[in-house]
Amino acid sequence: MSTTASAPAKPVDTRGLAGQTVGDTSICAVTQTELIYRGYEIADLAANATFEEVAHLLLVGHKPSPAELKAFKDEIASMRALPASVRDAIVRIAKESPKAHPMSILRSGVSLLSHLDPECEDNAPAAELRKAKRLLAQIPAIIGACQRTLDGKAPVDSDPSLDHAANLLWLMSGTKPSELAAKIMDVSLILYAEHDFNASTFSCRTIASTETDMHSAVCGGIGALKGPLHGGANEMAMEMLKDIDSDLAAAKGSMNVDQWMQRAFAEKRKLMGFGHRVYKNGDHRAGILRGWGLKLAEQLGPNAKKWFDLGDQVQAIMLRDKNIHPNVDFPCGMTYFILGIPVPQYTPIFVASRITGWCAHIMEQHQNNRIIRPLAEYKGPALKKWNG
């Protein structure tokens, strides 16, 4: 009886903890086909909820009643003002270090807030929820003070009549956003609010597992999110589209988008805004945000819509040649750009949303804690004698 040797199994690449389950959570579920926040699917939330409702869902743990939502919104609005010393520090840093990345300035702002929060060192559940609400309320003010200073203008105060998304746009620009612009920002904040054990959230949980304070864990999350392979991908996606547009203009008809992409493939250029560790068949958040962004682009006219036309060509080529779908960062770059948001502020806006998910995870970690301390497989030299 003859046997045929089977090919050896291809080793599984588990670097970066790929495919590894490292803990339990009741906050979020991510599968290839669904993104669920505490039992509610993301498309349902994007179509029917507001960001404040989602923030309550994540932080408090359940969908708010109308009375709970009003109380939550009123409480958040009452917490928006930055301490004068923090606001002055943000303005000074932005003036004296105009090349500092806004994410670094935001990280410093959160660290400064920790010194003035009377409950900073209190990890009791009630205290942590109050701290989470204060961070949710004040992070947009840090972003706004930074951007207004970079624009050579004085920061503006929060407007208590505006919802969270609209107030964020107001703080950055000093102009009340249109209803459509505010809605688009609101939807984008919902889409970015939570995503289980991603790099920044896992960083927050790892830091929190030492039983340190929430502000320290959030600072770690901001540092992780800053990287271009994580939160900074939306910035890089828009910079890529700007590069394509600029190169095509310089070529004066001698190059098209397909040729630019083939050159990028040959140069092994990393094209940001595509692919995902979990969503192998496409990030369903991307289609939701693209739809809203395109609606605004069509309203604004050809100069805005050209970015979506260009993006659609790039997306089609990536799918045709590489079988790689866009993730939510790709349409985010275009959408924030036509909203008039400076590219370096894209990732800080991500923080204004993801602070809800981070804080929910920090609280969950503290409430059932065990320090996160994985093992490593040593690949160094064999044991040697120092004097041998």
Q: Where would I find the beta strands (DSSP E) of the chain?
A: 28-30, 35-37, 40-41
- % of the chain at pLDDT higher than 70: 93
Which member of 276, 325, 361, 366 is catalytic? Answer: 276
Closest CA to 297 of 284, 316, 311, 318: 311
Backbone angles phi, psi at 357, to 5 degrees: -65, -45
Average pLDDT over residues 226-246: 89
Enumerate the domain spans of the chain.
28-227+343-367, 233-338
Q: Is the pLDDT of residue 281 over 80?
A: no
Q: Is the pLDDT of residue 272 over 70?
A: yes
Encode pLDDT of 46-103 as tens digits.
999 999 999 999 999 999 999 999 999 999 999 999 999 999 999 999 999 989 999 9
Token digits of residue 183: 């809605």
**Is 146 within 8 Å of 155 (Cβ atoms)?**
no
Is 309 catalytic? The answer is no
> What single-letter amino acid sits at 176?
K
CA contacts within 13 A on the Cβ side of 353: 23
**Is 178 within 8 Å of 202 (Cβ atoms)?**
no
Which member of 117, 283, 329, 361 is catalytic? Answer: 329
Query: Which residues, other chains included, contact 379 with Cβ-Cβ below 8 Å and sequence gap of 6+?
Result: none
pLDDT band at 33; cut points 50, 70, 90: confident
Number of neighbouring beta carbons within 10 Å of residue 277: 13
Encode pLDDT of 166-198 as tens digits.
999 999 999 999 999 999 999 999 999 998 888
Q: 28-227+343-367 in CATH: which number?
A: 1.10.580.10
Is 325 catalytic? The answer is no
Report the alpha-carbon distance of residue 335 to residue 330 in Å, rounded. 9
Is 230 catalytic? The answer is yes
Sheet strand arrangement including 28-30: 28-30, 35-37, 40-41
Q: 233-338 in CATH: which number?
A: 1.10.230.10
Which member of 230, 245, 247, 258 is catalytic? Answer: 230
Token digits of residue 320: 């045709």
Token digits of residue 135: 């961070």
With b for 16 or more beta-carbon neighbours within 10 A and e for fewer, the 39-57 pattern comes to ebebeebbeebbbbbbbbb
Query: Which residues, other chains included, contact 259 with Cβ-Cβ below 8 Å and sequence gap of 6+?
Result: none
